Structure 1
């Protein structure tokens, strides 16, 4: 049973899996007093000093809200980030998803530190992820807690829920929607309707952080992943374009008899 759970865990989208796990582990550790909150919050005086604590740009997104938020916040991050990582046509590469997290997160921090204050920004990022994931699901019905609503209304339902449970989080959530909308305008709306190119292109170097390494070291030898090929270019092994599993032998090309 435990091996099946671990197999399912490792088969999950890697970026969504990693971030949800980091939020859960960090939040549990902080609320139980294992790690101090002072290691994670964002403040400019810790960033702009002789030895800048640059990790705070990331750790300020790793603390969930209290109680049920320790479970729900990682769940929402996993749910919507995995949609961006696997099914959203706007993000063709994992580097695009990473660039989205960097740019949207930076805008959330900038807006909140300039106008609203605050030191932890996960609620804004969750709302941004929800907004972006729902833009390509217009007309689709989805569940939000015990209600069925149009998918594009889910981020606003989150704000409505905060009005009842945690009103202090509403400005942060609104900043998340603004950040996601700005990203959408710069990368999709302007190229489509303004006749220009993307104003926020993904830097090429980010691919090195998210691509699968070509060489794998194993206990019984070394495996080398072949270079990726452009769509429609064919395969040097004669593999078909169909799914690998369950008919995995179809991907081995034509057979040859020995002797």
Structure 2
């Protein structure tokens, strides 16, 4: 029964979310089974540009470390917020969503040339969280049952949590910065007087992803339903009420 439920959930996932999270899980399992090693997939400009190991441009986004708390933390956040974005503000715009992946990944790789980071998956997850949080500003959230706040503060709460765990905040700051750049280019600047859309999805991506008709039986996960998982004593990152608070 559990296997059937998992299969149904997997099939219902939108395509980009399904592809990305599956690639992350398979990469982690491959490392865990010693099929590959982290040294074969981490970001290394010399190996990429001098020895043409171009797969590292992608694989460095797919590994969050060995299976454990950090892996589960990142995977659950990546899955939830990736899915809510794809089924919410990007509903019917798979090409635009995939282009956001390309845009964010490209900027992270540029920054990684100057910052000592070899795996960028965690920063990419924070970028997804940031974009979702800015597009759902009235959703109220709960963290460990200790504090309540509105969605736009979530990336900063996660940054503080990383700091408490002794992790480097450079990863979180990179994700927040690039998420804000995308949000500004896509949502803020076009609405300004004289503004226009700076990010235009290439036509071939629209042909690849958006030329099909939408499945009428598709059951999406509403974007304004806060995502997350149980934090200790049954508390969730987001409340269960699917309706955002109104101000």
- For normalisation by structure 2, the TM-score amounts to 0.78
Q: What is the deviation of 1:145?
A: 4.5
Structure 2: distance between partners of 1:144 and 1:207: 38
| 1:201 aligned residue | 200
- Larger-gyration structure (1/2): 1
Q: Secondary structure at the match of 2:156?
A: helix
1:22-41 residue pairs with structure 2 within 5 A? Answer: 22-41=23-42
Corresponding position of 1:64: 64
Contact 1:187 1:201 in 2 (8 A): no
The one of the two structures with greater contact order (alpha-carbon pairs below 8 A, sep at least 6) is 2
| Match in the other structure for 1:87 | 88
Deviations 1:157-207 (A, max 9, x none): 110110011422x11110111111111122221111142321121111112
Deviation, 1:92, is 5.1
Contact 1:65 1:73 in 2 (8 A): no
Any idea what the Cα deviations from partners look like across 1:43-96, whole Å, max 9, x if unmatched?
1112213x622221111101114421222211111101111101126x650011
Gaps of 5+ in 1: 214-227, 230-242, 246-259
Aligned equivalent of 2:140: 141
Q: Matches of 1:32 and 1:156 in 2, distance apart?
A: 35
RMSD: 2.3
Deviation per CA, 1:119-142, whole angstroms, max 9, x where unpaired? 111111111100000112112112
Aligned length: 214
Change (3 A) 1:24 1:244: closer
Distance (Å, rounded) in 2 between the aligned partners of 1:118 and 1:244: 42
* Distance of 2:142 and 2:47 partners within structure 1: 41
What TM-score comes out, normalization by structure 1 length? 0.75
